[in-house]
C-alpha cells in the first residue's frame, strides 16, 4: 500500500474536500481524485462518499482508518530513519494544544527547537482535551497540552489548574467568596464546546447540574467576552482567563 495515498486519504477526510486537500498537499484536485480512485480500486471497495458538500469516509473506510493511520506513521518513521542514516534529521512533529494561554511559551520553545532541527516540520493541532487525547490514541499527535484524560499516556504535570466561574463584573455573585454551582441552573449560562466531553461538562455532570443554556460557543475566548458583555455566566479552566480582565 502506497503510504502517500494513505496520507492523502486522511487529509481528504480531515478537510472534507479534494480541492482543500490539493492546496494543502501541493497537488491538483484532479490528481487527488485519481489517487483516491486508484486506492479504492486497489482496496476493492469505496473509501469516500462524494457529494456537493464534499467527501466523507464510508463505513468500510472508518473500519480501516486505524490501520491506515498506522501505515502513515510507519511510512514517516521509515523516512526519518533513512534520513538519519544519511546524516540528516527530518520528519514531522504534531503538537496538540487545548489552551491558548500556552501558545506564547510553546512557540518560543518551537523557535529554539527549529534552530537545532531546522528540517523537522511542526504541526499544531487545536481542540479540546478529549479530542486531542483521541488524536494521541490514533497516532495523529505526538505531544499534547491538555487536561488529564483516560488513556495510556505518559503525563508530565505543567500546572494544577482549577475550574472557575466566569461572572460579569457587575453581577452580585462577582463579589461572593464562593460561587454556588447551582446558580448555573437558573442564571443565563454560556456553554463552551456544547455536547463535547470537556472539563466544564464533566464538572456539571458530576454535580448533577443542568445549566440554563442561553448561548453556545466553540471558543473559550468568545465565551469570556460574552460574559464580560453581560450575556451570562460560564464555567471554565482558570488558565483560559489568564492575562484577561473584566470577569
Rounded Cα distance, 204 and 242, in Å: 22
pLDDT at 245: 63
Are the CB atoms for 72 and 61 separated by under 8 Å?
no
- Per-residue pLDDT reduced to its tens digit, 164-212: 999 999 999 988 888 999 999 999 999 999 999 999 999 999 999 999 9
Are the CB atoms for 22 and 29 separated by under 8 Å?
yes
Is the pLDDT higher at 231 or at 2? 231
Q: How far does CA 22 lie from the centroid of its chain?
A: 22
- Per-residue pLDDT reduced to its tens digit, 24-67: 888 898 999 999 999 999 999 999 999 988 999 999 999 999 99
Mean pLDDT over 228-233 rounds to: 95
pLDDT at 106: 92
Strand pairing category for 234-237 and 163-166: antiparallel
pLDDT band for position 247 (50/70/90)? very low
DSSP string of 82-105?
A: HHHHTT---EEEEEEES-GGGHHH
Mean pLDDT over 147-159 rounds to: 87
Which residues contact residue 116 at a Cβ distance below 8 angstroms, ignoring those fewer than 6 apart? none
Mean pLDDT over 72-100 rounds to: 82
Amino acid at each position: 500500500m502506497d503510504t502517500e495515498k494513505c496520507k492523502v486519504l486522511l487529509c481528504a477526510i480531515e478537510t472534507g474536500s479534494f480541492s482543500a486537500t490539493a492546496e494543502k498537499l501541493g497537488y491538483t484536485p484532479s490528481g487527488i481524485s485519481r489517487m483516491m480512485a486508484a486506492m479504492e480500486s486497489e482496496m476493492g471497495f469505496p473509501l469516500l462518499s462524494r457529494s456537493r458538500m464534499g467527501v466523507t469516509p464510508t463505513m468500510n473506510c472508518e473500519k480501516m482508518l486505524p490501520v491506515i493511520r498506522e501505515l502513515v506513521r510507519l511510512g514517516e518513521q521509515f523516512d526519518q530513519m533513512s534520513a538519519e542514516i544519511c546524516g540528516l534529521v527530518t520528519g514531522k512533529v504534531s503538537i496538540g494544544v487545548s489552551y491558548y494561554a500556552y501558545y506564547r511559551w510553546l512557540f518560543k520553545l518551537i523557535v529554539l527547537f527549529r534552530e537545532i532541527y531546522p528540517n523537522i516540520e511542526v504541526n499544531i493541532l487545536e481542540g479540546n482535551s478529549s479530542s486531542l487525547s483521541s488524536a494521541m490514541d490514533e497516532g495523529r499527535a505526538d505531544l499534547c497540552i491538555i487536561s488529564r484524560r483516560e488513556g495510556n499516556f505518559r503525563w508530565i504535570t505543567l500546572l494544577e489548574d482549577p475550574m472557575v466561574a466566569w461572572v460579569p463584573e457587575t453581577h452580585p455573585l462577582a463579589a461572593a467568596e464562593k460561587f454556588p454551582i447551582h446558580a448555573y441552573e437558573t442564571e443565563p449560562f454560556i456553554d463552551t464546546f456544547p455536547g463535547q466531553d470537556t472539563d466544564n461538562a464533566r464538572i456539571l455532570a458530576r454535580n448533577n447540574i443542568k445549566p440554563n443554556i442561553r448561548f453556545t460557543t466553540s471558543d473559550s475566548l468568545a465565551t469570556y467576552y460574552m460574559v464580560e458583555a453581560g450575556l451570562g455566566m460560564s464555567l471554565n479552566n482558570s488558565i483560559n482567563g489568564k492575562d484577561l480582565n473584566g470577569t
